[in-house]
Chain A
Amino acid sequence: MAKLKSKFIEENIFRVLMWMCVGIVLLVVLSIVWTIFVKGFGSISWEMIFQVPGQNWNTSDDGGFLNAILGSLMVVAPATVLAMFISVPVVFYMNLYRRRSNWLSYLARLVYDVLYGIPSIVYGAFAFMVMVMVGMRASVLGGIIVSTLLIIPMFIRSGDEISKSVPDDMIDAAYSLGATKLETLRVVLKQVLPGMATATLLAVGKAIGDAAAVMFTAGFSDSVADSLSSPTATLPLAIFNWITMPDPFPGRAYAAALVLTVLVLILSLGGRWITNHFTKNNM
């Protein structure tokens, strides 16, 4: 009887512990979002989002950080497109051109998973080393290249997951009709497109928030970059630089943090929404 009781006591203890853990996780998320939003809304203004730094930017409220917002977009948007062109073929190669269990697919999958795990600061250091070697200065292009390197493994990982959901029968059906592998790809593509859209948004969200990679490669500037070879500010780096400065910079950092958070949340929630929408229609 005592044993029976102890097992229920144990059950209850762990139940309580579990709910506590869930509670802590929810609380932490709330506290982060609350901190960013309260601090951000306390200091944000339209001027900050829609203007570039003015003449007296360093001492008083003059202008805003449009240059950083645009800079982030200028780095990440081309990087995403490039990464897509590189990683989509790789995903199909691993899943369609080679059998999924093929040794090359296994090796490539492993290597891309490892690349995914490499810290972005190492990517940044490596890219800067290469840039110095070829004589490139910190520029939008430098940022784009590093961000591309950063996005590719993320993209391939999620693409790989998605294409696992394509039934083998469908591929075999296409082959039996005499389609080449490239033509089969079209059939598969239609199937994975919504999933890829989600993956894209998530990858963009990750890349746009990464400061360590662009730290040495994109530079920092108070004006909007007008070519691929001029340096540019980016949002995460701006936040990092400003947060420890004296007034009026911390306010700008909070506002920039709010802008970045909202951007990232829109991207990630948008991604989720696409997934849900897609699965509802198909299942």
Chain B
Amino acid sequence: MIALALWSSALSCSVVRDDSEALHGQVSVSGAFALYPLAVQWANDFQVRYPDVKIDVSAGGAGKGMTDVLNGMVDYAMLSRELHQEEADAGAVAFVVGRDAVIPVFSSDNPHIDLILKRGITDKQARDIWVTGKITTWGQLLGTGDRHKINVYTRSDACGAAQTFASWFDSKQEELHGTAVFGDPGIAGAVSKDKWGIGFNNLAYAYDAQTHRARPGLAVLPIDIDGDGDIGPEERFYDSKEQLVNAIELDKFPAPPARNLYFVTKGAPKDSASLAFLKYALKDGQRFNEPAGYVKITGKLHNDNMKLLRTARKSMDLKRNTTDNVVVVFIALIVFVVALCSGSVFQKSLNKKRIYKQNLSSAFMFLLTVSSVFLLIAMIGGLTYKSLPILQENSFWDLISSSEWKPSQKKFGFLPFITGTLSVTLLSIAIALPLSLLTAVSLTEYSKKIVKKFVFPALDILAALPSVIYGVWGILLLIPITGYTLLTASLVLCVMVLPIMVSLFVEIFSTVPQDLRDASMSLGATTWQTTRRVVLRKSLSGIFAAVVLALSKAMGETIAVMMVCGSIPAIPKSLFKGFYTLPALIGNNYGEMASVPLYESAIMFAALILLVIVVIFNVLSRVILYRVQKGE
């Protein structure tokens, strides 16, 4: 295995790149949503010039991009905040490729729109809305008597936009309150649908790319810079994207929330194709900036970039992208197995051939069977190893009993996530249990053919649907009624575990001997009495096991819950509050781990907690279920 890996890496090293000819190769860019539209335009234009260069641009948030670039997984990260010291220490070099701003937005359906546009918002007011919670109604903001609550939106994923916005009023992203939505476009979507909503967006998403006016449904909240409660003519530049871009360029618009946007590399660009793309983005590509709604980089900033490019050295510890090697190893492994299997050709006698095959297959199968145990051990071991740093920093008890989640201050309290996970799981099972129990009883004890004909296919459909579809269903059908709350998530989860529970119950009930039922019936009991006193009692341990199994399934559900939970890291106090779960924490924040090294460890710790709980629950319920099945 190791020899193979070495051999393949040596092979790929020996391939000499031909740089003198026309550029070719692959450049990959990932990161902030804020830069994504511009980077895509650059990529398209660049690929027209150099058709042999393939550029992959993917948007996943600034943190994801930084993680990728620091691990050598992409060439450039699109970064929409300032570089952290830890990142610079790791060899990150940031080139300014544009400027833009994060601006507060509200719904254009808001009945007070004229007054809001006239008065604007100060940084103090923004702080009171997003951080301290002193302003809760539109009346308080506008100085009128309006009692309608301000529905505050913020970002669920760790991101540059939220950090920049928060730094406008001396705060941090984790201190922002409100319903948290995934992604920059997510806020634009949520606010435009909520007439009492308020949020913040990158300039490029707040304004429509074609009309250069605010997106349909959105209105830009002007910033009251001098704090006189009135937007004067010198503060009025929000009508179109050009005006705002112009204002940012002339520093009329405060920074932050105006900010620099960066392309980040680890050390110098690794090959000529990626270097050419960076040079292009810094110079020729700049002509796309203004039409797309970004400020062009000229003068001093441009010179700084050039100086940086000259001084940036190839970092020595740059981790090479070994994906290709892994591909080779992977294919080699398959070939190896096939070759071993054809080894029987060399055996002379028929019987020897048969025995060779028999022994080979036996050893091979034994290996595969045992490797499952190793996989489980590797997962637990690997996650434990990765979560050691945070366990050294904080005691285990502190981590799971504290409810303060402030990663930038190295405070990791998992209690909100644990309670969130537990409450949504228990609630969903509590709803699903009677529902599935009675459905299962009606299927086995009151079996009518016509019912079975409809219910079983329906359950099959439920079992087959992917969780993202349940999320879509929740967003389309439940969110408009119940909002991003514990109740919504519980209902979605409840529907998701229904098919598992019903099919387990049906299976368990069918192991109850028919004789017992007949005996009960012949003594004059009704069907329900028989069910309750004989069938249910007999399968009590099985029901318990099924519930535990469903609990563990529900606990690990990620996507559907992420889509409807509201991502608020606080202990849920009522059914109608947003919350957060462990899987959603992993899903939302995995990308940010590069900035704060402890963060990665914290996420891995979350995965470890989840894994351990699920393993314990599963072992418990499976052992019981095996007994139930055997006892038939």
Binding site for B on A (CB under 8 A): 7-8, 10-11, 14-15, 17-19, 21-22, 24-26, 28-29, 31-33, 35-36, 39, 55, 57-60, 86, 89-90, 92-94, 97, 104, 106-115, 117-122, 125-126, 128-130, 132, 134-139, 141-142, 149, 152, 180-183, 185, 202, 205-206, 208-212, 215-216, 219-223, 226-231, 236, 239-241, 243-247, 249-250, 253-254, 257, 260-261, 264-265, 267-269, 272
The 9 closest A-B pairs by CB, nearest first: A209-B466, A119-B556, A245-B185, A244-B186, A137-B73, A268-B464, A93-B365, A229-B323, A21-B438
Q: Cβ of A89 and Cβ of B587 under 8 Å apart?
A: no
Q: Is the CB of A221 within 8 A of B455?
A: no
Contact status B188-A114, CB under 8 Å: no
Q: Let me know if B188 and A246 touch, CB within 8 A.
A: yes
B533 to chain A, nearest CB (A): 11
Contact A243 to B475, CB < 8 A, known contacts A211-B559, A212-B583: yes
State the CA gap A142–B28 with chains docked (Å).
16
Within 8 A of A (CB), among B536-555: 549, 552-553, 555
- State how many angstroms separate the Cβ of A161 from the closest Cβ of chain B: 10
Query: With A21-B442, A122-B379, A246-B189 known to touch, is A11 a contact of B586 (CB < 8 Å)?
Result: no
Q: Are B460 and A119 in contact (CB under 8 A)?
A: no
B468 lies within 8 A of A211 (CB): yes
Contact indicator A243/B472 (Cβ below 8 Å): yes
A selection of 30 A-B contacts at a CB cut-off of 8 Å is A17-B438, A25-B455, A28-B498, A29-B458, A29-B462, A32-B470, A58-B36, A59-B208, A89-B369, A90-B369, A97-B365, A109-B626, A112-B372, A114-B618, A114-B619, A119-B556, A121-B583, A121-B586, A122-B383, A125-B383, A132-B71, A138-B68, A139-B323, A209-B468, A211-B559, A227-B327, A229-B323, A231-B28, A231-B58, A246-B205
Chain A residue at minimal CB-CB distance from B205:
A246
Q: Which residue of A lies closest to B477 (CB)?
A: A35
- Contact A14:B476 (CB < 8 A) given known A119-B555, A209-B466: no
- A244 to chain B: which residues have CB within 8 Å? 181-183, 185-186, 189-190, 475, 563
* B439 partner, pick from A7, A18, A180, beta carbons under 8 A: A18
Contact B383 A182 (CB under 8 A): no
Within 8 A of A (CB), among B395-420: none
Contact of B472 among A110, A215, A257, A264 (CB under 8 A): A257
CB–CB A126/B382 < 8 A = yes
Most chain A CB within a 10 A radius of its CB, from B30, B323, B583 = B323
Q: Is B465 in contact with chain A by the CB < 8 A criterion?
A: yes
CB contacts under 8 Å to A, within B428-476, are 434-436, 438-439, 441-442, 446, 451, 454-455, 457-473, 475-476
Q: Is the CB of A221 within 8 A of B58?
A: yes
A residues near B529, Cβ cutoff 8 Å: 7, 10-11
A contact residues around B389 at 8 Å (CB): none
B442 contacts A18, CB within 8 Å?
Answer: yes
Helix, strand, loop or mixed for chain A's interface? helix
Q: Mark B318-355, 1 if CB is under 8 A from A, else 0.
A: 01111110110010000000000000000000000011
**Pair A243/B563 contact, Cβ less than 8 Å:** yes
Residues on the B chain within 8 Å of A254, using CB: 472
A9→B386 CA distance, assembly (Å): 60
Residue of A nearest to B44 (CB): A55
Which residues of B are found within 8 Å of A104, using beta-carbon distances? 369
Within 8 Å by CB of A21, from B439, B460, B604, B611, lies B439
Cβ-based interface call for B523 (8 A): no
Kindly state whether residue B132 has any CB partner on chain A within 8 Å. Answer: no
Which residues from B are CB-within-8-Å of A121? 556, 558, 583, 586-587, 607, 610
Q: Does B364 contact A (CB under 8 A)?
A: yes
Q: Mark B513-534, 1 if CB is under 8 A from A, else 0.
A: 0000000000001111100000
Whole-angstrom distance between the alpha carbons of A16 and B475 in the complex?
A: 31
Kindly report which residue of chain B lies nearest to residue A93, judged by CB atoms: B365
Identify the closest chain A residue to B434 (Cβ).
Answer: A21
Q: Are A10 and B528 in contact (CB under 8 A)?
A: yes
Which residues of B are at the interface with A, using a C-beta cutoff of 8 A? 26, 28, 30, 36-37, 40, 44, 54, 56-60, 68, 71-74, 181-183, 185-186, 188-190, 192, 205, 208-210, 215-217, 319-324, 326-327, 330, 354-355, 357-358, 361-362, 364-366, 368-370, 372-373, 375-376, 379, 382-383, 386, 434-436, 438-439, 441-442, 446, 451, 454-455, 457-473, 475-477, 495, 498, 502, 525-529, 549, 552-553, 555-559, 562-563, 583, 586-587, 590, 603-604, 607, 610-611, 614-615, 617-619, 622-623, 626
**Residue pair A137, B28 in contact (C-beta under 8 Å):** yes
Across the interface, do A108 and B373 meet the contact criterion of CB distance under 8 Å?
Answer: yes
In the bound complex, CA of A269 to CA of B465 (Å): 12
When the two chains form the complex, which single residue of A117, A134, A139, A180 contacts B553, counting CB atoms closer than 8 Å? A117
A180 in contact with B358 (CB, 8 Å): yes
Which chain A residues border B559 with CB–CB below 8 Å? 211-212, 236, 240
- Bound-state CA distance A59–B441 (Å) is 52
Given A125-B590, A137-B73, A230-B54: 12 more A-B contacts, CB < 8 Å: A28-B462, A35-B472, A58-B37, A90-B368, A113-B622, A117-B614, A130-B382, A132-B71, A135-B72, A137-B321, A211-B558, A269-B460
Using Cβ atoms and an 8 Å threshold, which residues of chain B touch A60?
Answer: 210
A117 and B183 contact, Cβ closer than 8 Å, known pairs A111-B373, A180-B357, A209-B469: no
Partner of B326, one of A10, A31, A134, A250: A134
Contact call A89/B364, Cβ cutoff below 8 A: yes
What CA separation (Å) do A125 and B556 show in the bound complex?
A: 13
A25 touches B439 (CB 8 A): yes
Contact in complex: A89, B361 (CB < 8 Å): yes
Q: State which of A18, A26, A223 has its C-beta within 8 Å of the C-beta of B56.
A: A223
Asked if A36 contacts B472 (CB within 8 A), the reply is yes
Q: With A19-B442, A125-B590 in contact, do A240 and B563 touch (Cβ < 8 Å)? A: yes
In angstroms, how far is the closest chain B Cβ from the Cβ of A222? 7
Q: Which residues of A contact B463 (CB under 8 A)?
A: 268
Contact of A212 with B558 in the complex, beta carbons under 8 Å: yes
Q: Which of A21, A26, A86, A136 contacts B458 (CB 8 A)?
A: A26
Known contacts A119-B614, A239-B472; is A59 also within 8 Å of B181 by CB?
A: no
Q: Report A14 CB to chain B, min CB distance, Å.
A: 5
| With A268-B461, A272-B460 as contacts: A31 and B587 at CB distance below 8 Å | no
Contact A180 B355 (CB under 8 A): yes
Q: How far is the CA of A215 from the CA of B623 in the complex (A)?
A: 32
Measured CA separation A228–B326 after assembly (Å):
10
Q: How far is the CB of B235 from chain A (nearest CB, A)?
A: 27
